[in-house]
Amino acid sequence: MNEELFQLIWLHGLFDMDQLSTTSGLPLSIVNRGYHNHDAGPDFLNARILIDGTLWFGQVELHINAIQWQQHQHHTDKAYNSCILHVVLDDGFECLRQDGTPVPCLSLKNRVRAGLTEQYDYLKFSSAQIPCNKALPYISQVYIRQAIDQALVDRLERKSQWVYDWLQSSNGDWHTVFLAALARSFGFGTNGEAFEQLALNLPMLEICKSENNLHKITAILFGVAGFLDEAPKDVMHAKLRQEWTFQQQRLNLHSLDKSLFKFMRMRPGNFPSIRLAQLAALLQNFQQLLHGLMNVNSIPSMLNLMDAELPDYWQSHYQLGIEGKQHQARLSLNARQTLLINALVPFLFVYGKHTGDENYCVKALDILQKLPPEDNRIIRDWHDLGVEATSALDSQALLELKKNKCSARLCSNCPIGIAVLTSQL
Ligand code: SF4
């Protein structure tokens, strides 16, 4: 057994608590096991333990083997003088505090449920994508809901972090923060990193000031993305390149390496070039867009605001200078929903928290609750295991759970994992 499992056993009380006694034979009962200390010092703080009729209030230290008390030098450390109990698996060594007094010891040997170590190892070392897969059908919905809710909070906090970072680097300018959130989200996964780089290099204030100048905004987006470095292949390409040359000098802009953007194995409708054109179309009415998204509450109205019209050129081009068959160039419904989830929700959440106006946080959650769940391989895997996402709120949480807990084997920090360990499955 390792230290982590032993700590979990104490934390969640996964042992037989009937007729406990200290290793010296005094009757003992646990009033409160204390709270887990992740900093320096004893493992559990503020515990309450009744030993031979006296109630003790203080810290608890855990070791697999009692002798580790000495090996870790706790007998010379004043910080451990407040330990009221030493919990071990194997005893056989009397432990003294720095002040010379003995620490009462409780051994959990033969009190830990058989099979617990095997269950823990299975969750920790299984090669399955979702290690608790076999146990999931037997786990109460209460724990599954808890895991989903916890993962949702984790996701919102993780996604909020970069919004905060942007807020700081833009000196509190919410317009540029939302513009960055939007630009970054246009990578739609495959080109996420490239569009993040794009967002970092765009002249945000200039774009905010360029309302209704689609040509200029398009030239800046394509230019910064490195798409206007080549010789022009048609009139549109040439005009954009001319505008970019002017803006690049005027604003001292740098272009990225175009190879950052991936075209391979993508459907033409997802090409980064068409995404840049769609982003430009949205940004030409940026102030109106942001104002509208902040103030309307119905999902259809938000989706309408995101439904920007593109110039005819893009109905017959997926890339600059390369003519193809006619197609619909506007953002699909699915893409607009994804942008609401990835750009608007974290923005509103941080805006609400930062300004103290909780209504925006509620609105962020409401958007997730009202949007349909995403449909991707991970959500389908959860579905196959009987865990259904009924809204984007659920699917966002399940994506987070899989990415940051299941894949990292952090089951001991997950309500479902604890339910698996505490049950007799
Ligand atoms: S983290 Fe939770 S949901 Fe994921 S495999 Fe572990 S116990 Fe299951």
pLDDT tens string 307-329? 999 999 999 999 999 998 999 99
Does residue 78 share a domain with residue 221? no
What is the Å distance from ligand 1's center to 152 Cα?
14
What is the Å distance from ligand 1's center to 187 Cα?
29
Q: Domain boundary residue among 90, 112, 134?
A: 112
What is the Å distance from ligand 1's center to 414 Cα?
6
Q: Domain boundary residue among 97, 112, 127?
A: 112
Does residue 325 share a domain with residue 186? yes
> Is 375 within the bounds of a domain?
no
> Is 167 within the bounds of a domain?
no
Probe target for ligand 1 pocket from 152, 416, 420, 422, with the most ligand atoms within 8 Å of CB: 416
What is the Å distance from ligand 1's center to 147 Cα?
8
> Would you state the pLDDT for residue 34?
96
What is the Å distance from ligand 1's center to 377 Cα?
17
Does residue 74 share a domain with residue 205? no
Does residue 182 share a domain with residue 318? yes
> Would you state the pLDDT for residue 118?
87
Probe target for ligand 1 pocket from 8, 119, 123, with the most ligand atoms within 8 Å of CB: 123
| CA-closest residue to ligand 1 atom 7 | 417
> Is 373 within the bounds of a domain?
no
What is the Å distance from ligand 1's center to 415 Cα?
8
Does residue 301 share a domain with residue 194? yes
Does residue 327 share a domain with residue 180? yes
> Is 405 within the bounds of a domain?
no
What is the Å distance from ligand 1's center to 315 Cα?
45
Looking from the CA of residue 413, the nearest atom of ligand 1 is: 1
Does residue 197 share a domain with residue 327? yes
- With vertex at residue 292, the alpha carbon angle to CA 290 and CA 298, rounded to the nearest 5 degrees, is 125
> Is 168 within the bounds of a domain?
no
> Would you state the pLDDT for residue 299?
97
313-317: list long-range contacts, CB under 8 Å, 24+ apart. 313/236, 314/274, 314/277, 317/236
How crowded is residue 286: how many other Cβ atoms within 10 Å of its Cβ? 21
Does residue 332 share a domain with residue 187? yes
> Would you state the pLDDT for residue 126?
85
Tokens representing 272 are 């980064």
What is the Å distance from ligand 1's center to 13 Cα?
20
Q: Domain boundary residue among 60, 93, 112?
A: 112
Domain holding 212, by residue range, is 173-339
Does residue 306 share a domain with residue 192? yes
> Is 374 within the bounds of a domain?
no
Probe target for ligand 1 pocket from 121, 385, 411, with the most ligand atoms within 8 Å of CB: 411
Does residue 328 share a domain with residue 195? yes
What is the Å distance from ligand 1's center to 423 Cα?
15
Ligand 1 binding residues, C-beta < 6 A: 123, 130-132, 147, 401, 405-406, 410-411, 414, 416-417
> Is 390 within the bounds of a domain?
no
What is the Å distance from ligand 1's center to 411 Cα?
5
| CA-closest residue to ligand 1 atom 8 | 132
Mean pLDDT, 10 residues at a time, over the chain (425 residues)? 91 92 95 94 96 96 95 94 95 90 94 87 88 91 96 93 91 91 92 92 91 95 96 95 97 96 92 96 93 95 95 95 92 96 96 95 96 95 95 97 94 92 72
Does residue 305 share a domain with residue 177? yes
Does residue 295 share a domain with residue 183? yes
**What's the pTM value of the predicted model, to 2 decimals?**
0.83
> Would you state the pLDDT for residue 326?
93
> Is 207 within the bounds of a domain?
yes
**Total tally of structural domains belonging to the chain:** 2
Probe target for ligand 1 pocket from 124, 150, 382, 405, with the most ligand atoms within 8 Å of CB: 405
Probe target for ligand 1 pocket from 122, 130, 143, with the most ligand atoms within 8 Å of CB: 130
> Would you state the pLDDT for residue 33?
97
